[in-house]
Structure 1
Amino acid sequence: ADRKLVIQGGRLIDGTGRPPIENAVIVIRSGRFEAVGKRGEVPVSADAEVIDVAGKTVMPGFIDGHGHLEDFHGELYLHLGITTCATIELYQDGPWTRAQKEGTDLGKIRGPRIWMSGRAIGGFSTGHDAFGSRTARDNIIVTTAEEVRRAVQRKKELGCEILKVNEFLSMDLVKVACDEAHRLGMPVAAHSWDVAGSSKAGVDAIEHIWSVGYSSIPYVPARRKLAEDRLGGVIDQELAGAYYQVENYDQVIGAMVDRRVAWTPTVAKWLRPLSPSAERFRERENQILNNPDADLPAAVRAVTENAYEKLLKRYTPAQLDQAKVGYEKANEFIRRFVRAGGILKEGSDPPRGMAALLMHQALMMDVEAGVSPMAAIQAATLNVAKTFKKDKDYGSVEPGKIADLSIVEGDPLQDIWMTQNVKMVVMDGKLVDIGFSKYKNPIPSFYSYQSLPLDLEISPLFLIEGSGPTTLRVRGQGGMWPFHRVMLNGKPLPTSFVSKDELKATVPPEAIPKAGTYVLTLKCEGEDFPESHRAHLIVGFKA
């Protein structure tokens, strides 16, 4: 028989909402919880492996309810006590995430268990369909009921466990998608600007603060324009929140509560610089970013720091005030939603911050908005499992369920930020190493972690062999970042950031030693595969 693992002596918050069990005993056998209770009430066999966690708090392994998995996320998730990631793919439908899922299940890849959705299915927007917008690159476009059914069936065949629909899909087709997904045993998560309509159509979860915020605007053309302008970069999400109409919140909330539709706010990715806990957030972010063994791509630091620089440095006083209005309106919706009995689930929703840590930051901000710490813990555990129809096996510490645990120093019921103070993780009944190790995923991602312009314009287009150094202007739509590097024939050039549309690179004489056609591309520092389309630099003969 399998040797039992016993975790004893800690304070157990089991995820059900019941009061904590002090001096708890948790017996694990064959990867599942066998018995749970107070010390002295649960027998412990003499041959069991016993781990004493006195003074610590034991919780279910956390579940990220809205992730976007990347190849370097695995150790981040384990380090922060998140044993499962419900991942919403952005750029491709299935194969890479499926390989990650199977690799994790086999113990070949370090990381959380994966529940995959594949790309969202949706319709075209009437505006901002240029490259870089969600409607152009991130969705499977469907226009008829039969196309919807085929798309859902294909996802099931690929191994997807969750269906996601976008806000551009008509409500009659959302209903078709929900009916087919539910027939196949798949829950549905939705982007929406009509929460009442989406709830009536049968979705199981509404994603993001902006979905409920847009839905609070009764005049549909204004609602749609705000949504499209945000997607097209006309207005920042941080500023769009000021237009939500608080007087209509209860109507939006009622539509979800009546049909037991869960909601994932994900406010931390945009608004954490305005949180009273912003300094604590920055301190923890920097601990991880500065850990050489974490070895995160340069893009992670850039996008994490950008959230603070954008609001606190680049915004004008008027813009910052507008963002604060949106922040307070977000808090008000969270308060009312939970007070009305709404099902709160949380997720990290990178990349506008650090995967996994964003989840803990979101919980902190939920509590600041008025959610109880116990309810916040459920938003990261049992509520996610229930929403995605996985609560038979996951989400709480109860006999018969899969044995996933996050064991932390401190008491999250007194200070919810302690959920990230992880000291030990159990996954599938086994202790997991939560340290960083410069881990390299054996199946790297082939899409960029952040925006990477595809088509490039360069100036000058012509140089003479051995000349220089020459400053090369490189322009491209889709978003330049300081971590982008200009590559010439596969070798990096010294690169400087000018603006979101332009970089400058220095071409030294030794980079163009002889005449020829040279290939110029962009890559992200620290990412092996993602690369822009080619531009060509012609190098002529020296007279």
Structure 2
Amino acid sequence: MEPQRSLPPNNWADVAPRLIAVAAGRAPADLVIRNGIWVNVQSRELLPQSDIAIAEGRFAYCGPDAGPCIGPETEVIDAEGAYMIPGLIDGHMHIESGMLTPAEFARAIIPHGTTTIFTDPHEIANVLGLAGVRLMHDEALMQPINIWTQMPSCAPSAPGLETTGFEITAEDVAEAMQWPGIIGLGEMMNFPGVIAADPQMLAEMAATMRAGKVVGGHYASPDKGHAFAAYAAGGPADDHEGTAESDAIARVRLGMRSMMRLGSAWYDVESQITAVTEKGLDPRNFILCTDDSHSGTIVNEGHMNRVVRHAIACGCEPLVALQMATINTATHFGLERELGSIAPGRRADLILTSDLTTLPIERVIARGVTVARDGKGLVDCPHLDWPEESRRTVHLRRPITAEDYVIKAPAGANAVVAKVIGVVENQAPTKALTAELSVSDGAVQGDPDKDVCQIALVERHRATGGVVNGFVSGFGYKGRMAMASTVAHDSHHMIVVGTSREDMALAANRLAEVGGGITVFKDGAEIALVELPIAGLMSDSPASEVAAKAERMVAAMAEVGCTLNNAYMQHSLLALVVIPELRISDLGLVDVTRFEITELIEKTL
């Protein structure tokens, strides 16, 4: 069967007369689903023996008998007692983290029942600026599901602590607010700027609010006192950086929606959902999201269906979990009349499933069209013609050598105490550690026996030739190895981690050769490669192909000693200078608890 082409969503005002006629039984529907259990997330009810009538890509009638809506040309589906649930919605995510373009990302998530995503393309904004955001926005609007774009707010994420390929200005934000697919402002990561009433941050949020749109939040500080109150007063309406029950409670008490994420490496639902399941807070103020899911997770484990299943496994009632992945999200973004529920007038996004707990996705309907059945996509996902400049983004002044990774010791030192970035499994924050490291031939050495290896950030946007070196712990790497990636949130320079400077040089030069991606070297030979030629972040190859290469990459990381769950995601966040405690940037080692550059060597021995 050839994939069919889905049409753009019909404007309600243009089709309202027909919707009314179909609902009243005066005109035939395009599609009627009979004999299902209507999962009503508006009232949190299960309504058996229900029918749903669809016309013009929208729900027209929902109730006990759609017989009057059936005409000779009406397609009729017998649900055979299956649950009819709204299409799932991801409230906060980054398409680029899937290593896929919007088209290929859509193709990957449709069989899992996700019919709407709210995406913040701040990854490509750091590499290609406003032009890159427009490319993501335009391809998103071509897809058979709803992809709403949040205009990135912080590129760089922390001015003065990193250098990006491009910078986003308040004027850029004001311009983007006029684009048809822009739903609001992306996560406001510069929370110190908001707290300090930085004029640019306030101007960006003001432009968003003048457009009647939502400001996304990102508060990655443990301080829930006056600083957090100041941030909430500044305008962000949601936050996904919570990791504990107290974080979720603090956010909803101050009028923010608490977004609880389950991504490839972020497991923050279980620790926060007790605010609902045990403390009894109003669940309509909680939203489920993925934030960052790479292609391997999506292909092999699922997308929002995975998150909902996990929330249920953590003790959440199935209907409450479904609300958190449908109507709650739509309401938050001001789209309750468009999305998020099976109700007259809304876009006809619906899933048929035989079980509300295990949530098998048996049929997916988007805009009234069956787009997937039993795990297989049935609809075309059109591609943009990505321009050549989007594929030439790894700029090195010269080939990298092992000497670029030498960390010179202070004169006369036999050993030093150095600051070390400590990776925390399944969470975004890192720890600020220290380690006593030896000095040999005037250079500070890593110590794999102490699980301390080298990390370097190689500048790749402006060909400055800059290389910043440091140390990282937590990966467990052994032997002679290196791993390099041009996915390096959020500045997206090149992060290289390794135990061998020679292998680190080989890895960096390999990524320059292929135009970006991820590579793993062992004993001087490449053992895994994921090519990401678009902005060094994405591939326009099918998700299954990218996932297979990503799986090989994960296996290669294990082959060189890594035991962390989804360690690649931890690797890619080592330069994220807005999440505590210690990070690396092109300007140096960053103490994110103080938001300042700090020295690598703490003490000479």
Place the TM-score, normalised by the shorter chain, in its bin.
0.5 to 0.7
State the AA in 1 paired with 2:118.
A
SS of 1:208's equivalent in the other structure is: coil
Question: For residues 134 and 513 of structure 2, what CA distance do their matches in structure 1 show?
Answer: 27
With over 3 angstroms needed to count, the CA separation of the structure-2 counterparts of 1:460 and 1:25, relative to structure 1, is: same
Does 2:292 match 1:350? Answer: yes
CA separation of 1:529 and 1:115: change in aligned 2, threshold 3 A = closer
Which residue matches 1:180?
A: 207
Give the partner amino acid of 1:117.
Q
Q: Deviations over 1:43-72 (max 9, x none)?
A: 343422211011321111111111222322
Please state which structure has a larger fraction of its residues in helix.
1
Check the 8 A contact 2:284/2:324 in 1, yes or no: no
1:23 deviation in Å?
1.4
Structure 1 CA distance for aligned equivalents of residues 365 and 218 of structure 2: 33
Instruction: Note closer, same or farther for the CA distance 1:121–1:405 as it changes in structure 2 (3 Å cut).
Output: same
Question: What's the offset of the Cα at 1:526?
Answer: 5.0
Asked if 1:365 is matched to 2:304, the reply is no
How has the CA–CA distance of structure 1 residues 256 and 200 changed in structure 2, closer, same or farther, with 3 Å as cutoff? farther
CA 53–487 in structure 1, closer or farther in 2 if over 3 Å, else same: same
Q: Does 1:117 align with 2:150?
A: yes
SS at match of 2:142: helix
- Give the superposition deviation at 1:379: 1.0
Aligned counterparts, 1:351-430, within 5 A: 351-352=293-294, 354-355=297-298, 357-408=302-353, 410-412=354-356, 415=357, 417-418=358-359, 421-430=360-369
Return the match for 2:520 from 482, 490, 497: 497
State the percentage of identical aligned residues.
Answer: 18
Partner Cα distance (2:269, 2:61) in 1: 43
Q: How far off is 1:384 after superposition? A: 0.9
Partner residue in 1 for 2:138: 99
Could you tell me whether the CA contact under 8 Å between 2:33 and 2:53 is conserved in 1? yes
TM-score normalised to structure 1 length: 0.60
User: Which of 56, 73, 92 is the aligned partner of 2:105?
Assistant: 73
Listed one character per residue, the Cα deviations across residues 371-396 of structure 1 (whole Å, up to 9, x for unaligned) are 22111101111111111111111111
What is the aligned counterpart of 2:234 among 185, 201, 205? 201
The CA distance in 1 between the partners of 2:213 and 2:89, in whole Å, is 17
Per-residue deviation at 1:360?
2.5
CA-CA distance at 1:123 after TM superposition: 6.8
Q: 1:26 maps to what in 2?
A: 52
Q: Distance in 2 between matches of 1:472 and 1:480?
A: 9
Matched AA of 2:108: L
Question: 2:281 aligns to what?
Answer: 339
Change (3 A) 1:153 1:56: same
Where 1:120 maps in the other structure, the secondary structure is: coil
How far apart are residue 103 of structure 1 and its match?
A: 1.8
Map of 2:530 onto structure 1: 525
Partner of 1:345: helix, strand, or coil?
A: strand
In the alignment, the residues of structure 2 paired with residue 385 and residue 269 of structure 1 have an alpha-carbon distance, to the nearest angstrom, of 24
Taking the aligned partners of 2:481 and 2:312, their CA distance within structure 1 comes to 50
Say whether residues 1:191 and 2:223 are aligned partners: no
Task: Report what 1:145 is aligned to.
Answer: none
Give 5+ residue unaligned stretches, structure 1.
105-110, 143-147, 214-245, 273-325, 462-470, 507-522, 533-543
Report the alpha carbon displacement of residue 137 of structure 1 after superposing the two structures with TM: 6.4
Cα distance between partner residues in 1 of 2:297 and 2:151: 21
CA distance in 2, matches of 1:328, 1:381: 19
* Structure 2 CA distance for partners of 1:125 and 1:369, relative to 1, 3 Å: same
Any idea what the Cα deviations from partners look like across 1:125-184, whole Å, max 9, x if unmatched?
A: 488x356xxxx46973x6xxxxx4x34312213442221242323233555544431220
RMSD of aligned residue pairs (Cα, Å): 4.3
CA distance in 2, matches of 1:209, 1:375: 20
Find the aligned partners of 2:510 and 2:382 in 1 and give their Cα distance. Answer: 24
Return the letter of the residue paired with 2:355. D
**Structure 2: how far apart are the matches of 1:331 and 1:423?**
27
Partner of 1:76, secondary structure, is helix
Instruction: Tell me the residue number matched to 1:163.
Output: 185
| Cα distance between partner residues in 1 of 2:525 and 2:379 | 31
Q: Secondary structure at the match of 1:163?
A: strand
What SS is found at the alignment partner of 1:525? Answer: strand
Count residues with an aligned counterpart: 384
Residue 268 of structure 1, CA deviation: 4.1
The whole-number CA distance in structure 2 between the counterparts of 1:490 and 1:179 is: 43
| Residue 431 in structure 1 maps to residue 370 in structure 2 | yes
- Whose strand proportion is higher, 1 or 2? 2
TM score, norm. by length of structure 2: 0.54
Aligned residue for 1:354, secondary structure, equals helix
- For the residues of structure 2 that align with 1:84 and 1:425, how far apart are their CA atoms? 12
SS state at 2:84 partner: strand
